[in-house]
Amino acid sequence: MSSNKVGFVSLGCPKALVDSERILTQLQIDGYEIVSTYQDAQLVVVNTCGFIDSAKRESLDAIGEAISENGRVIVTGCMGTGDDAQDIVRAHPKVLSVTGPAAYEEVVGAVHQYVPHTPVHDPYTDLVPPQGVKLTPRHYAYLKISEGCNHRCSFCIIPQMRGDLVSRPIGEVMNEAERLVEAGVRELLVISQDTSAYGIDTRFRTGFWNGRPLKTHMQALCEALGELGVWVRLHYVYPYPHVDRVIPLMAEGRLLPYLDVPLQHGSPDVLRRMRRPAAAEKALERIHHWREVCPDITLRSTFIVGFPGETERDFALLLDFLREAQLDRVGCFQYSPVRGAGANDLPDPVPEVLKQERWERFMALQQEISAARLQAKIGRTIEILIDEADAQGAVGRSAADAPEIDGRVFLDGVGGLQPGDLVEAQVTGADEYDLWAG
């Protein structure tokens, strides 16, 4: 066995995935080979998720498996800070090192320490494709535009784990986007903790892309990305007034008409206790305005039911909000406390059975809304980006579907397609999540 083989386990959200990609890219630049079995690896890196308790359990299990199967394990990621880091060391004292999220240099340094390796002469051109290493299929890629978050939502410990907002320079983001497109990526998914806050920390500093001045600002970024000729999808956008200015870009076809807006609740009192950003920004008015400017816009959101102090009246307001907002795609979580979060000290916890009951009522209503919105697409011709294909048919996504979290479009009996192809087809059927087209 050669001595420069590293295994990698990547858990968690798209932001963690981007961290994994950066570490993998650097390791390959440094001449390490990434292998897919514990047995072939000299050492295993586990990138953990610490967002909620079930994710922490999954992370601890993954570390335990890597230790029993390989024995030499470096841990990084969201679970690698504070009390959680101590839990890791307590549960698995054999781990070689533990670091927090976005600790690229420390992780790569630890790999060098435990698997010493002399870099080859020109590793970048020899070993790594110019777009870096991607864990997503070749035709779509996540583009992380910032780290950290300036908000302090009471249920969330991400700012404690990842720190305050740090925006990447716009020139660097655009260069990465351009490289990805040149390498065959057909869809860019813009991610961060708060995409609408991009550039605030730099006071919207002017950067340069291909010699052209560009402000570090969400609108300038969207306009520039819209020039690349691929699908551009925005995630984690809060309903601030300035977001209105990117909706015309969607109506003009320069960005996908899609916004992922994590709203979390419809009751002003609950939003206040959650300390949500943009809680007072009149989300419903904003949504109606967006639909006037861009009638085809798909709106996705996530909500939490059973937050401490949520009354039946608060919950009724949330259901009213759903009826009025007519969102296309919605995720709903039952509130669960996260160690270290301010919300843990709030009075009036909602009993588990009531959380479950509210969650079921929420889901029943939203499924009706989502199904009706999908039914309304039957007969329309839509563009589909193909994700998987064989001789019998293909599966893809429309502009309304982000990978992993939204629905899919099934093209039964349509052969001759390849992942990454963009095709048009007429919608022939729908259920509450997916479409069929031919």
CA 316 to chain centroid = 29
CB of 264 to ligand SF4, least distance (A): 8
Tokens of 151: 């908000």
Pattern 251-290, ligand SF4, x by CB under 6 A: --------------------------x-------------
315, containing H or E segment: helix 312-325
Q: Tokens standing for 22?
A: 């950066």
Compute the least distance from the CB of residue 260 to ligand SF4, in Å.
Answer: 12
Phi, psi of 209 (to 5 degrees): -135, 120
Minimum CB distance to ligand SF4, residue 399 (Å): 25
Q: Which is nearer to ligand SF4, 6 or 274 (CB)?
A: 274
Q: Which is nearer to ligand SF4, 159 or 419 (CB)?
A: 159
Q: Which tokens is 221 given?
A: 């970024």
CB of 193 to ligand SF4, least distance (A): 4
CA-nearest of 208, 75, 230, 66 to 140 is 230
Spatial contact of 386 and 420, defined as CB atoms under 8 Å apart = yes
Which CB, 158 or 249, lies closer to ligand SF4? Answer: 158
Per-residue string for binding with ligand SF4, 166-205, x by CB under 6 A? Answer: ---------------------------xx-----------
Our finding on whether 12 is near ligand SF4 (CB under 6 A) is no
Q: How far is the CB of 154 from ligand SF4 (least distance, A)?
A: 9
Residues 132-161 that bind ligand SF4 (CB under 6 A): 149, 151-153, 156, 158-159
Between the CA of residue 436 and those of 39, 328, 413, what are the distances in Å? 42, 17, 11
Q: Which stretches of 213-296 are DSSP H helices? A: 218-225, 247-251, 268-274, 283-293
DSSP string, 323-385: HHH--SEEEEEE----TT-GGGG-S-PPPHHHHHHHHHHHHHHHHHHHHHHHHTTTT-EEEEE
Q: Closest separation between CB of residue 242 and ligand SF4, Å? A: 16
Q: How far is the CB of 199 from ligand SF4 (least distance, A)?
A: 16
Nearer to ligand SF4, 123 or 159 (CB): 159
Q: Which residues bind ligand SF4 (CB under 6 A)?
A: 149, 151-153, 156, 158-159, 193-194, 277
